[in-house]
Chains A and B, each alone.
Chain A
Amino acid sequence: QKEVEQNSGPLSVPEGAIASLNCTYSDRGSQSFFWYRQYSGKSPELIMFIYSNGDKEDGRFTAQLNKASQYVSLLIRDSQPSDSATYLCAVPDSGAGSYQLTFGKGTKLSVIP
């Protein structure tokens, strides 16, 4: 069974601070990684994806990937109250012909004004 682990939180940060969300995965063959944001009662929406080791930046969001450590993180700079949500890490199954995503249980982020 493929596993994707996240701290459930809640993670509380003050407005304007950097929020750091972490995710570890068990499937060494995984090649791509996704971060989704889910507001309470809503469906997940894609924030970022990353394929290569290192950092990928998009606005206030930075995804970091370390395949050797099987670790992916999401940094949110200048956190805003509107960033308060649950963040889901998702990892595709590396098996041949499989297009499934395994999701972590999510980290709940609360940005305090």
Chain B
Amino acid sequence: DGGITQSPKYLFRKEGQNVTLSCEQNLNHDAMYWYRQDPGQGLRLIYYSQIVNDFQKGDIAEGYSVSREKKESFPLTVTSAQKNPTAFYLCASSLTGAGNTIYFGEGSWLTVV
């Protein structure tokens, strides 16, 4: 089936650890995105990529890193520099071009323990 697969669905991180969230899509979309959602809040853009080997910072990129080595994959690393990482992380993708619909994966819950 076509779609966006995020893993793991639930992840626990110890203080000082880096963790990587996986995102894979088979929709043949050029653009991919990472959003963060805190309880009762809207979605905030962390990073986005419009083409392989290129990505741009969103509104809250500090403490996060990404790579885009393949069209299908856009992993997000939450580094130890991110002081408040507990949140719901959403990967998304779309065709490029203004106004194209963004589709979301099922999300990953990250909790700091």
Interface of B is mostly: loop
Whole-angstrom distance between the Cβ of A107 and the nearest chain B Cβ: 11
Are the C-beta atoms of A94 and B102 separated by less than 8 Å? no
Are the C-beta atoms of A100 and B48 separated by less than 8 Å? yes
> Is B94's beta carbon under 8 Å from chain A?
yes
Whole-angstrom distance between the Cβ of B23 and the nearest chain A Cβ: 12
- B6-33, CB under 8 A of A: which get 1 and which 0? 0000000000000000000000000101
Specify which of B41, B99, B104 is in contact with A92 (CB 8 Å cutoff). Answer: B99
Are the C-beta atoms of B50 and A105 separated by less than 8 Å? no
- B75-101, CB under 8 A of A: which get 1 and which 0? 000000000000000100010111111
Specify which of B41, B43, B94, B97 is in contact with A44 (CB 8 Å cutoff). Answer: B43
Are the C-beta atoms of A99 and B43 separated by less than 8 Å? no
Are the C-beta atoms of B101 and A34 separated by less than 8 Å? yes
For A112, the chain B residues whose CB sits under 8 A away are none
Q: Which of A82-113 contact B (CB under 8 A)?
A: 88, 90, 92, 94, 98-101, 103-106
Are the C-beta atoms of B45 and A100 separated by less than 8 Å? yes
Specify which of A46, A92, A105 is in contact with B42 (CB 8 Å cutoff). Answer: A105
For A99, the chain B residues whose CB sits under 8 A away are 31, 48, 50, 94, 96-98, 100
Chain B's closest residue to A51 (CB) is B99
- Given A43-B107, A49-B101; 11 other pairs, CB 8 A cutoff: A4-B42, A34-B102, A44-B104, A92-B98, A92-B99, A98-B98, A99-B50, A99-B96, A99-B98, A100-B48, A104-B42
The 5 A-B residue pairs with the shortest CB-CB distance, nearest first, are A32-B99, A105-B42, A43-B104, A103-B43, A43-B107
